[in-house]
Amino acid sequence: MAQLTFREAIARGIAQEMRRDDSVIMLGEDVGAAGGVFKGTVGLLDEFGPVRVRDTPISEQAILGAAMGAAMTGLRPIAEIMFSDFFAVCWDIVVNEIAKSRYMTNGQMTFPLVIRSGNGGGLRFGAQHSQSVENWAMMIPGLKVVVPANATDVIGLMAASIRDDDPVIFLEAKSLYASKMDVPDGDIVDTLGSAKVLRSGADATIVSLGAMVPRALAAAEELGENGINCTVVDVRSLVPLDTSTILREVVATGRLFTVEENPRLCGWGGELSSIVSEEIFYDLDGPIVRITTPHIPLPAADALEDLAIPSVERIVTTIEKAMNS
Partner 1 sequence: MTTATKPTTAIDLEHRLALYRSQVALRLFETRAYDLFLENLVKGTSHLSLGQEAIAAGVAAAMRETDWTFATYRGHAHTLARGVPMTPVLAELLGRANGLMAGKGGSMHLTSVEHGVMGSYAIIGAHLPIACGAAWSAQYRGTDQVAVCFFGDGTTNIGAFHEALNFAAIWKLPVVFICENNLWMEYTRTTEVTAVAHPAADRAGAYGLESILVDGNDADAVYDVAARAIARARAGEGPSLIEAETYRHGGHSRADPGKYRPDEEVAQWKAKDPVPRYRARLVELGVDEATLVAIESEVADEVEAATEAAKAGAIPGEDLLMKDVWANGGSSWRN
Residues near partner 1, by CB under 8 A: 25, 51-52, 54, 56-57, 59, 61-75, 77, 92-93, 96-97, 101-110, 112, 141-142, 164-166, 193, 239-244, 275
DSSP per-residue letters across 77-135? EEEEEEEGGGGGGTHHIIIIIITTHHHHTTT------EEEEEES-SS---TTS----HH
DSSP 283: G
Distance of closest approach, residue 153 Cβ to partner 1, in angstroms: 18
Distance of closest approach, residue 191 Cβ to partner 1, in angstroms: 11
Q: Are 64 and 115 in contact (CB under 8 A)?
A: yes
Q: Are 261 and 298 in contact (CB under 8 A)?
A: no
Closest CA to 172 of 227, 117, 134, 243: 117
Element at 14 (helix H, strand E): helix 6-20
Q: What is the dihedral of CA 145, 217, 257, 140, to 10 degrees?
A: -10
* Cα separation, 200 vs 303, whole angstroms: 33
Phi, psi of 229 (to 5 degrees): -95, 120
129 is known as an active-site residue: yes
Closest CA to 207 of 222, 224, 225, 219: 219
Distance of closest approach, residue 89 Cβ to partner 1, in angstroms: 8
Phi, psi of 146 (to 5 degrees): -120, 135
Which residue type is seen at 281? F
Q: Are 4 and 181 in contact (CB under 8 A)?
A: yes
Closest CA to 291 of 320, 266, 311, 271: 311
Question: Which residues partner with 153 through β-bridges?
Answer: none
Distance of closest approach, residue 88 Cβ to partner 1, in angstroms: 13
Q: Residue 307: which residues within 8 A CB-CB, separation 6 or more?
A: none
Q: How far is CA 279 from CA 171, 243, 266, in A?
A: 29, 11, 19
Q: Which residue in the list 129, 174, 215, 290 is annotated as catalytic?
A: 129
Active site residues: 129
